[in-house]
Amino acid sequence: MFYHVKQLQYHAKPERPDPVYAKKLQEILGGQFGEISVALQYFFQGWNTRGDGKYRDLLFDTGAEEFAHVEMLATMIARLLDGAPVGDQELAAQDPVIGAVLGGMNPQHAIVSGLGAMPADSVGNPWTAKYIDASGNLLADFRANLTAESKGRLQAVRLYEMTTDPGVKDMLSFLIARDTMHQNQWYAAICELEEKENIVVPSTFPRELEKSEVAYDFYNLSKGDESSKGRWAHGPSMDGLGQFNYVATPQPYGKIPRLRPAPPYMHNTLLPAPPHHPPNLV
């Protein structure tokens, strides 16, 4: 069950209209790492959670807050679109909305949504459920959440730098602070789960079924050896179950593949067979 409170979580009122900035603000509303994405991501992760109740509660608490952020951004975008400014064009002087469109406003804000926010990013791509990451494994999901909050905060900070409107900056400063909390909470949950299980996901797969001899090798597959200086190249592995090994010149384990000819009804291009079958050709 859901319950809506009419008051906004925080103020969302610009000092002046700015339809061009409204277009930019669509990114953290309907973009890949926007508020719609994280709200639904956390809810689907919560609905799919079958374990400890506190993690399910954490997801629903945060998902509900993200819907509050959706409402704040939608309100701010609508207010930025109010009284769209007149452009320099003669036609624009007759209609402020037309002037704003010609000046760089998203035309769909006038044509499609009637000067309201849309479930889309800053260039008009519609929001898609493909942005949602919900695997059923809490450690994998919480890591995805940490990434989403990191990218979302980065974009909010960049948008903060793109405006001089005190009202917009005030709202963004609140969202940025909440993203700070959310990054911290997901990292806290990640550390807690890593202590219970292991850092490798999933921890339930029998380790004897994987090729353990290559489980901790770092392959140098680009020019130079600068990567050999990293923590990932030497010393104990992060899961505590092995030793990192830097492989300067990795060698292939498999042979050169040779596929059988396709059936005639597939009408594939026929290639000449190699003159002989060397031992590394299978």
Lookup result for tokens 């050896």: 225
Q: List the domain boundaries for the chain.
A: 19-196, 209-247
Please report the pLDDT score of residue 2 as a whole number: 86
CATH superfamily to which 19-196 belongs:
Ferritin, core subunit, four-helix bundle (1.20.1260.10)
**Structure tokens, 239:** 């899961």
Record the pTM. Answer: 0.87
Q: What percent of the chain has pLDDT over 70?
A: 89
Please report the pLDDT score of residue 205 as a whole number: 94
Q: What percent of the chain has pLDDT over 90?
A: 78
- Give the lowest-confidence range in 42-56, 73-87, 125-139, 247-261: 73-87
User: DSSP for 132-177?
Assistant: ----S-HHHHHHHHHHHHHHHHHHHHHHHHT---HHHHHHHHHHHH
**pLDDT single digits (tens) 71-81:** 999 999 999 99
95: pLDDT strictly greater than 90: no
Closest CA to 28 of 111, 127, 134, 94: 127
89: pLDDT strictly greater than 70: no
Rounded to an integer, the average pLDDT of 169-188 is: 98
88: pLDDT strictly greater than 50: no
**pLDDT single digits (tens) 253-280:** 999 998 888 999 999 988 776 666 666 6
Rounded to an integer, the average pLDDT of 170-196 is: 97
Average pLDDT, the chain: 91
162: pLDDT strictly greater than 90: yes
281: pLDDT strictly greater than 70: no
